[in-house]
Amino acid sequence: MRAGPIPVAIAYYHRLARHFNRVEYSASQDRWKKSKELFVFGRKKNWEDTYDEAYSDRPERVRAEQPKLWIHLTFLAVLAVIFVGAVWAVAGWRMAERTLQALTAPLGLVWLILLMQLYFLAIYRHGKTFLVTVGLFALVTLSGNEFVKRFLVSSLESEYLAQPPLKEPVEVLVVLGGATGTKPNGETQVTRAGERIVTTVRLHRDGKCKQIIVTGTKVELLDENDHHPCEEAQTLLLDLGIPAETITMLRGINTREEAESFAVWHDRQSFSTDTRIGLVTSAWHLRRAISQFERHGIKVIPIAADSLTTRPRPTPTMLLPSAENLEIVTLMLREHLGRLVGR
């Protein structure tokens, strides 16, 4: 009796799959599985069992029919060349060069290695390892992705970037720490958040503030050349022409302690209830900082200094993870975590 078209098609599929080594085959494990199904569960032997038993007796043939590693690597290399060539044809050589730089950076190489591992695991059907690698690949891709970075940054900054510049002067201007650093030789410098210092100088020059409060301390100083953030900010403001009598330093290791220090200082002053208090910090940090000051009953006017929001410009590199995006995503996640724990 001849077999129907469906069993024949299935058998042909299995033959092709094993020809290209699309399954990881183990003769001993397969025999144990078949014997358990046949003798423990009482299943009758079918044509597929007979085919597998016949094939399991020839493991040398399975190894001999495996495609060579260089064939897979050549295929992947051709795909990479096609991708870069398409970028060159659409966006020009400079964009293709930036794409190559992104792929050959450390994070880009990790991304490529995971992508290659996914390809080989899919070819050889390593199910559990494939799922784990998919998770790692998704983690690396999302952590360094441009779209994820923009979403997280916008969730923290959009509310304050739409506000108009400060028009009415404030009595007190609070400048949170984190905008300065110290060189090995002891000189003070600004960091990525140095726009907080620039914004403070501009407001004082325009007559928008009378008194400046700089905050921030370190857990421990490394040596005699190291300084606390409030001291570094005071040094820079003095160098930029701010009078010393208008600057007051307050301590605080984190935002919560800075708000507590200001609340204690505020209670000692003879301020009225309608005193205008400005708060200068990074746009992505304003929401958490305002909540800390409001816990002590202090209403502040948010003043956004530096911002991480960029104008959207579609490029092929937006699809690739980068170390810069990873750093910003980490910073945004830490900011959200800080709001959750109240710091």
Does the structure show a pLDDT above 70 at 65? Answer: no
Q: How many domains, the chain?
A: 3
Residues 230 and 316 in one domain: yes
Residue 155 belongs to a domain: no
Residues 292 and 206 in one domain: yes
Q: Which of 93, 114, 149 is the last residue of a domain?
A: 149
Tokens 């200082």 — which residue? 265
pLDDT at site 74: 82
Residues 134 and 164 in one domain: no
Q: What is the pTM of this model?
A: 0.73
- What burial class does residue 94 get, using C-beta atoms within 10 Å of its C-beta: 0-12 exposed, 13-18 middle, 19+ buried? exposed
Residues 141 and 181 in one domain: no
Residue 57 belongs to a domain: yes
Residue 192 belongs to a domain: yes
Structure tokens, 115 = 């992508």
pLDDT at site 62: 47
As a whole number of angstroms, the distance between CA 247 and CA 19 comes to 78
Closest residue by Cα to residue 226 from 178, 179, 176, 183: 183
Residues 222 and 332 in one domain: yes
Residues 315 and 209 in one domain: yes
Does the structure show a pLDDT above 80 at 167? Answer: yes
Return the higher-pLDDT residue of 264 and 315: 264
Residues 125 and 231 in one domain: no
Here the CATH number for the domain that contains residue 324 is 3.40.50.620
Residues 102 and 196 in one domain: no
Does the structure show a pLDDT above 90 at 269? Answer: no
Closest residue by Cα to residue 233 from 258, 208, 256: 258
Cross-strand partners of 189: 181
Q: Containing domain of residue 28, as a range?
A: 5-64
Return the higher-pLDDT residue of 83 and 243: 243
- The pLDDT tens digits for 277-321 are 999 999 999 999 999 999 988 999 999 988 888 877 777 778 889
SS3 215: strand
Residues 94 and 47 in one domain: no
